[in-house]
Every structure is written in structure tokens, then in C-alpha cells.
Amino acid sequence: MVSRDDGKLVLWPLYFDAAEPRPWRRVPRHLAIAEPTAEAVAQVAAKMHLRPVLEKGVGHPKRWWKSEGRVLIDARGAKSVLLQQIAEALKAAEAPKGEAKPKA
């Protein structure tokens, strides 16, 4: 099993969930999406060449009853910057193809 000690950062889907309050959500609400999944986060991280490791059935330590999974990615830079970049990519992937993407 891969761990943070292997140079990985842990990403929980709740970091990107628009329904969560700010202490749980780690990105601005305008970049958050509704009901993100660990699989979606892993797909975006793979497109960013962060070598994601998807761990299904794992619950956040403070929310152990929700086994939403987690994603471990290569620690390439500050976690806050990576979270922002992944959130932007998730938001872009969520937008319907016919809808224009808003400029930030």
C-alpha cells in the first residue's frame, strides 16, 4: 500500500464538494462541484501526470462512516496549488460540452 511517506499527497473527494462547509472543502466554492468522486479526482490527476493511486472504500479519519475513497498523488509542489488546479480541471470536465466555460 502506498502512503504519504512515499512522497504522496492525500486528496479526499470532500475537498472539492460544493455542499461541504469550508473547513472540509479545501477549494473556493466557485471551483467546487456537486458530489465529486474519488474516481473523477483520479482521472483528472492522471491527465495532469500526477501518477494517482485510487484507494476505494477508505473513509476520511473524521468521517469514517462514509467510505468515499481517496486519491494519492505525487507531491509536486504545494498542496494548495495542486488542489486549485485539480478543482479547475474538475469544474471544466463537469461543464456540459455545449456550455461556454467561464473565464476566471
Q: Which three cell numbers stand for residue 27?
A: 477549494
pLDDT bucket at 63, cuts 50 / 70 / 90: confident
pLDDT at 19 exceeding the cut of 80? yes
Domain boundaries of the chain, sorted by first residue: 4-94
Q: Which three cell numbers stand for residue 34?
A: 456537486
Largest CA distance in the chain: 43
Q: What is the number of other CB atoms lying within 10 angstroms of the CB of residue 95?
A: 12
pLDDT at 73 exceeding the cut of 70? yes
The CA distance from 12 to 79, in Å, is 12
- Give the full edge-to-edge strand order of the sheet including 53-55: 8-11, 70-74, 53-55
More confident residue, 95 or 90: 90
Check: CB of residue 66 under 8 Å from CB of residue 60. yes
Mean pLDDT along residues 27-32: 94
- For the 4-94 domain, the top CATH level (class) is alpha beta
- How crowded is the C-beta side of 39, counted as CA atoms within 13 Å? 3
